[in-house]
Amino acid sequence: MAGHSKFKNIMHRKGRQDAVRSKLFSRLSKEITVAAKMGDPDPDKNPRLRLAVQNAKGQSMPKDNIARAIAKSQGGEGADYTEIRYEGYGPGGTAIIVEVLTDNKNRSAANVRSYFTKYGGSMGETGSVSFMFDRVGELVYKPEAGDADTVMEAGIEAGADDVESDDEAHTIICAFEDLSEVSKALEAALGEAESVKTIWKPQNLVEVNEEKAGTIMKLMDALEDDDDVQNVFSNFDIPEDVLAKLG
């Protein structure tokens, strides 16, 4: 299982500490509600809901919040959300995929397009950049889950395709269609994961210079700050010395 030493740079993760905690919970709640509404409200009978709940638990979302999100799906409350994927190019020829859950497609399209335009990018048609990515499952465990060999062995037994361990986390990659089963097997072996989700993993990375890196980071921040946006993925790679300068 080959590692991906710069995988942490691929997706500009949310996580600006307490300032974004409520936004994170809001997005997790939306995913839970949508998953429960589309299928069975019982996580054991609904793989998508099970993964959404597991991901929420991994992010320390209170049980009451999770229960309310599921109940909301059954009570006819709230808006009907549509899943949309936008694709485009950012500065330096970088490819970007934006996943949205929205109750207003026109608003979301206009907002996402405006972010691309403001920061020197351009939106494309569906499929214009996704061919440069693989749709896979990703599970992230804290270092306390075990040493690298233990997690590697658990990943192999669970049917994962790749395991990478460092001082910050264990990242396990599996086939998109296998995520639910791999998640169950790893939960039995290692406990609940910190994060369980499907991602767009780039096949190749595009290294960017300091000027382009700063603009890309602003574009990613603008996209992730939008309430309709659930996830943002890209194939940019920022060298460590450039990251240090950007702070």
* Distance in angstroms (rounded) separating the CA atoms of residues 38 and 74: 10
* Distance in angstroms (rounded) separating the CA atoms of residues 34 and 214: 34
Q: Read off the pTM.
A: 0.86
Tens place of pLDDT per residue across the chain (247 aa): 333 444 445 444 444 455 567 888 989 999 999 999 888 899 989 999 999 999 999 888 999 999 999 998 887 665 688 999 999 999 999 999 999 999 999 999 999 999 999 999 999 999 999 999 999 999 999 999 999 999 999 999 999 999 999 999 999 999 999 999 999 999 999 998 999 999 999 999 999 998 899 999 999 999 999 999 999 999 999 988 888 887 6
Domain spans of the chain?
A: 17-74
Q: Which residues of 68-89 are buried (b: 16+ CB within 10 A; e: fewer)?
A: ebbebbeeeeeeebeebebbbb
Q: Taking a C-beta distance cutoff of 8 angstroms, is the pair 14, 217 a contact?
A: no
Structure tokens, 2: 């080959």
pLDDT at 18: 56
The listed CATH number (1.10.10.200, 1.10.3720.10, 1.10.10.10, 1.10.357.10) that belongs to domain 17-74: 1.10.10.200
